[in-house]
């Protein structure tokens, strides 16, 4: 593996313009959300994190502070308007207004269509899409007042190409992709850029090594890491991406560009 993915990480700050800004990362207790929070903290951002489970959030906050960063953790349900309002009040009291919103919280449930219940459908959309709206509704006014701000929605390759089974997860990600485009155009005159990041196969539950990253089904022959998703988010929030809005960036090792697996002709 030519690339040491541990280098593409929260330990390699690249964007000095992010230093001192306030970021909110949802679903930041584990996995991709944690990787994003660690990277933004390494860039010098003050990072507020939220999620449903207090213990993983506390672990993420401890990792940030142990590395010299500033973090604030608040458990809550992003699909609940009262929880979101309390979250923003807490962030403003601790750090000030939110400059960057990264919405990663999701319900990763995939079931066959004939086993899909209305309750599961509603819960998935409440977290992903209602949450995206509620969070943005409170973040945008301050961003408009300063004529700048960044919003990144964490999507998935499933928003473009279906998993099997893929419902309701893929449907929520497709909706988020549409929100990115619509909000990106709507908010562009106010200096607010809205983009999406769509990870592919990403190793989130084990320590990353060259051996357990290997994945022959992916064109790059390996899975991705949360740090690599975090690196893309940091870029999209920085001035280095100042002419990018309304786009979904695929961090997938080439999966969405690939028609079929190696050796399979369709």
Question: Mean pLDDT in the chain?
Answer: 94
C-alpha to C-alpha distances, 262 to 157, 191, 221, 258, nearest whole angstrom: 19, 44, 11, 9
Categorize the per-residue pLDDT at 4 as very low, low, confident or very high, splitting at 50, 70 and 90: low
Q: Is 15 a catalytic residue?
A: no
Kind of pairing, strands 22-26 and 70-75?
A: unpaired
Kind of pairing, strands 100-103 and 149-154?
A: parallel
Superfamily of domain 16-257: NAD(P)-binding Rossmann-like Domain (3.40.50.720)
C-alpha to C-alpha distances, 122 to 46, 79, 106, nearest whole angstrom: 33, 10, 12
pLDDT at 233: 98
Q: Name the active-site residue from 133, 169, 243, 250.
A: 169
Kind of pairing, strands 248-251 and 192-199?
A: parallel
Categorize the per-residue pLDDT at 25 as very low, low, confident or very high, splitting at 50, 70 and 90: very high
What would the mean pLDDT of 64-81 be, rounded to a whole number? 96
Assess whether pLDDT exceeds 60 at residue 45: yes
Assess whether pLDDT exceeds 80 at residue 1: no
For the chain, what percent of residues have pLDDT higher than 70? 94
Assess whether pLDDT exceeds 50 at residue 192: yes
The token pair that represents 72 in the structure block:
């604030």
* Residue range 107-155, pLDDT digits in tens: 999 999 999 999 999 999 999 999 999 999 999 999 999 999 999 999 9
Assess whether pLDDT exceeds 80 at residue 9: no
DSSP 111-161: E-GGG--HHHHHHHHIIIIIHHHHHHHHHHHHHHHHT-EEEEEE--GGGTS
How far apart, in whole angstroms, are the C-alpha atoms of residue 142 and residue 181? 21
pLDDT at 240: 98
Half-sphere exposure of 251 (CA within 13 A, CB side): 22
- Domains of the chain: which residue ranges? 16-257
What would the mean pLDDT of 144-169 be, rounded to a whole number? 96
């Amino acid at each position: 593996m030519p690339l040491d993915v541990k280098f593409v990480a929260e330990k390699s700050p690249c964007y000095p313009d992010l230093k001192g800004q306030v970021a909110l990362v949802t679903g930041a207790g584990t996995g991709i959300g944690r990787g994003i929070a660690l990277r933004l903290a390494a860039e010098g951002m003050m990072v507020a994190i939220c999620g449903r489970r207090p213990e993983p959030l506390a672990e993420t906050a401890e990792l940030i502070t142990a590395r010299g960063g500033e973090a604030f953790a608040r458990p809550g349900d992003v699909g609940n308007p009262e929880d979101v309002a309390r979250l923003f009040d807490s962030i403003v009291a601790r750090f000030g207004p939110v400059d960057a919103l990264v919405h990663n919280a999701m319900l990763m449930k995939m079931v066959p269509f004939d086993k899909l219940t209305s309750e599961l459908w509603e819960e998935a959309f409440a977290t992903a899409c209602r949450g995206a709206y509620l969070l943005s509704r409170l973040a945008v006014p301050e961003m408009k007042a300063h004529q700048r701000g960044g919003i990144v929605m964490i999507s998935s390759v499933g928003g473009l190409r279906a998993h099997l089974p893929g419902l309701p997860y893929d449907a929520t990600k497709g909706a988020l992709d549409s929100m990115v485009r619509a909000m990106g155009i709507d908010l562009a005159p106010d200096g607010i850029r809205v983009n999406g990041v769509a990870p592919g196969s990403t190793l989130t539950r084990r320590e990353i090594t060259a051996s357990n990253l290997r994945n022959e089904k992916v064109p790059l022959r390996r899975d991705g890491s949360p740090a690599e998703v975090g690196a893309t988010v940091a870029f999209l929030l920085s001035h280095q991406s100042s002419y990018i809005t309304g786009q979904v960036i695929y961090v997938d090792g080439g999966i969405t560009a690939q028609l079929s697996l190696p050796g399979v002709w369709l």
